[in-house]
């Protein structure tokens, strides 16, 4: 696996590895010789995953909706893994919530905003101390515009993309070799894909494979897949009057 300047990426932390994109990415990376540190709430699923991985792995409990425990769990992973070259933040949640049920809106913000930002904070500080590293966050095409059925979800993904851009600019200003990659998938065939009339659902394995390619190329922003990149470009330029009728 070629990394810039001939370096090898040997150790990666994946937050949200118990299912979906995170799980598939762990399988792909472990199969390519990367030691993986896994974190999620459902540790039983993490242990099931570890049994299938060919390479070194470790796992810790982390509930990113509860920010008080994130820093310790992140530190435990680093200690057990022996450091990290890459941190992937794959945890996320969202609800179809046209009735604006407050608990659903709050849960979305707790995970996708507060939890994401806390993990990002831990990763940035670690890589600042190390002098180099790579952080990947999973945003969404939904980050581009507001969503009438899932307003908090789209807004939270917009926060993720905006926050990662800010961190990327900060790292460049500090002249640090820290890459920040914003992954923006279309609809992925996971438990989070809710609603009627869903189309072009992408298998998590396909998304994970695309993410791994983007990691190797040190991309800043990557839309997955190509057809969803086309949709994203259309969404960006649609007049509000048309977009609001979708």
Q: What is the pLDDT of residue 199?
A: 53
Catalytic, out of 126, 153, 163, 223: 153
Tokens for 29, please give them: 């990376």
153 is annotated as an active-site residue: yes
CA distance 19 to 37: 14
Q: What is the pLDDT of residue 192?
A: 53
Burial tier of 53 (Cβ tally within 10 Å: 0-12, 13-18, 19+): middle
Sheet hosting strand 177-185, strand order edge to edge: 57-61, 35-40, 11-15, 86-89, 132-138, 177-185, 221-224
Q: What is the pTM of this model?
A: 0.90
CA distance 132 to 239: 41
CA distance 135 to 113: 16
CA distance 46 to 59: 7
Q: Are 225 and 206 in contact (CB under 8 A)?
A: yes
Regarding the domain delimited by 4-243, which CATH topology (the fold level of the hierarchy) does it fall under? Rossmann fold (3.40.50)
CA distance 145 to 244: 10
Q: Are 61 and 35 in contact (CB under 8 A)?
A: no
pLDDT tens across 149-193, in order? 999 999 999 999 999 999 999 999 999 999 999 999 988 876 554
DSSP output for 109-164: HIIIIIIHHHHHHHHHHHHHHHTEEEEEEE--GGGGS--SS-HHHHHHHHHHHHHH
Burial tier of 116 (Cβ tally within 10 Å: 0-12, 13-18, 19+): buried
Select from 52, 65, 14, 33 the least CA-distant residue to 183: 14
Taking only the tens of pLDDT, the chain with its 246 residues reads 444 433 466 999 999 999 999 999 999 999 999 999 999 999 999 999 999 999 999 999 999 999 999 999 999 999 999 999 999 999 999 999 999 999 999 999 999 999 999 999 999 999 999 999 999 999 999 999 999 999 999 999 999 999 999 999 999 999 999 999 999 998 887 655 454 545 567 899 999 999 999 999 999 999 998 888 888 888 888 888 887 877
The 3-state DSSP class for residue 234 equals: helix
Q: What is the pLDDT of residue 213?
A: 96
Q: What is the pLDDT of residue 232?
A: 83
Domain boundaries along the sequence of the chain: 4-243
Q: What is the pLDDT of residue 141?
A: 93
């Amino acid at each position: 696996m070629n990394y810039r300047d001939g370096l090898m990426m040997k150790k990666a932390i994946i937050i949200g590895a118990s299912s979906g994109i995170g799980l598939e990415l762990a399988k792909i990376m472990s199969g390519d010789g990367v030691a993986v540190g896994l974190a999620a709430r459902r540790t039983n699923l993490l242990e099931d995953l570890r049994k299938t991985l060919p390479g070194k792995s470790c796992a810790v409990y982390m509930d990113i909706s509860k920010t008080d425990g994130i820093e310790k769990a992140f530190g435990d992973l680093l200690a057990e893994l022996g450091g990290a070259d890459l941190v992937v933040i794959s945890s996320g949640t969202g609800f179809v919530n046209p009735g604006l049920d407050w608990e659903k809106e709050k849960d979305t913000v707790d995970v996708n905003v507060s939890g994401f930002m806390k993990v990002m904070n831990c990763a940035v500080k670690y890589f600042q101390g190390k002098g180099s590293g790579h952080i990947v966050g999973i945003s969404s095409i939904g980050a581009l515009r507001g969503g009438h059925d899932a307003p908090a979800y789209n807004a939270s993904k917009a926060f993720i993309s905006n926050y990662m851009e800010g961190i990327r600019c900060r790292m460049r200003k500090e002249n640090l070799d820290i890459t920040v990659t914003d992954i923006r998938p279309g609809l992925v065939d996971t438990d989070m894909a809710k609603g009627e009339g869903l189309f072009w659902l992408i298998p998590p394995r396909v998304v994970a494979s695309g993410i791994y390619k983007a990691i190797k190329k040190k991309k800043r922003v990557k839309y997955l897949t190509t057809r969803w990149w086309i949709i994203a470009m259309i969404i960006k330029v649609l007049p509000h009057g048309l977009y609001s009728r979708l």
